[in-house]
Amino acid sequence: MKTWIPDHRNFAYLSWKQVEALPRAQTLLILPTAAIEQHGHHLPLATDTLINNLLLGHALERIAPELPIYALPPICYGKSNEHLGFPGTLSVSAQTFLAVVRDLGASIASARFVKVVLYNTHGGNTSLVDVCARDLRAEFGLRTFTLFGAAGAPFSDVSPQERTYGFHAGEIETSLLLHGVPELVHIDEFTSNYIARTTDADLLKPEGSCANFAWLTRDIAPSGVLGDPVGSTAEKGERWVGEAAERIANALLAMYQFEPRHGA
């Protein structure tokens, strides 16, 4: 898998003696979580994992090299059963995902590290990541943080419709990969589907509201796309990578410096 993680930030490139020398209480370990799943006709199965690596790698480049902040190898497989039925999707169950993160947390705690970030770029993992973070805190006493996607980057020139419902293989993801791995984007295979419209006054939403309906991609998107990639460009992707990397870097620094209240 292609990586943008700087070598000196790659935890797996260290020897065990180098790991032993790290300051346990200060070191911040980042566990990426993503997916291998269909992304329409035009993007690769590894889209979420590539975006995770791309954004995290550029964020880590912005952090002072002397700070002990490291990226762990990613969990590439996620809970992707919303995309089952599309060839190439490789999904694990919620129980398996929780168990894998729990066991990695046990290994991290046994090595006497304290701080762990779960950095997720697949929507199907989001609820599970929140559960994992709380469970790692409760079971192992790890100081656990969560970080999602572009860390709130505004993508200011994306339409409200695309920003709200273009969440799978739409303009943003396609632009990021046109910048990062243009050779993997099939620009002659664009399709468009939306799960909902921002102009609709429906009470029930697909996600993110007080009343949601459960959905599977095949219910509403024969091509597997949830969004519209037509406006995607490498230039937008380059700009958005920079915006997201800056926000991710700032969040990681805040996590590195975090001191809990009341000594908790």
Task: Please state, rounded to an integer, the average pLDDT across all residues of the chain.
Answer: 96
Nearest to 31 by CA among 94, 115, 112, 111: 115
263: left (phi over 0), alpha (psi -120 to 50) or beta: left
Domain-embedded: residue 5: no
Q: Give me 12's structure tokens.
A: 């797996």
**Is residue 217 within 8 Å of residue 195, measured between CB atoms?**
no
pLDDT above 60 (res 261): yes
Domain-embedded: residue 2: no
* Domain containing residue 135: 10-263
Q: What are the tens digits of pLDDT across the range 223-244?
A: 999 999 999 999 999 999 999 9
CA distance 15 to 17: 5
Domain-embedded: residue 190: yes
* CATH number of the domain bearing residue 105: 3.40.50.10310
Amino acid at 130: D
Quote the number of domains for the chain: 1
Domain-embedded: residue 3: no
pTM recorded for the entire structure: 0.96
Residue with the larger pLDDT of the pair 179 and 261: 179
Q: What are the tens digits of pLDDT across the range 159-211?
A: 999 999 999 999 999 999 999 999 999 999 999 999 999 998 888 999 889 99
CA distance 177 to 121: 14
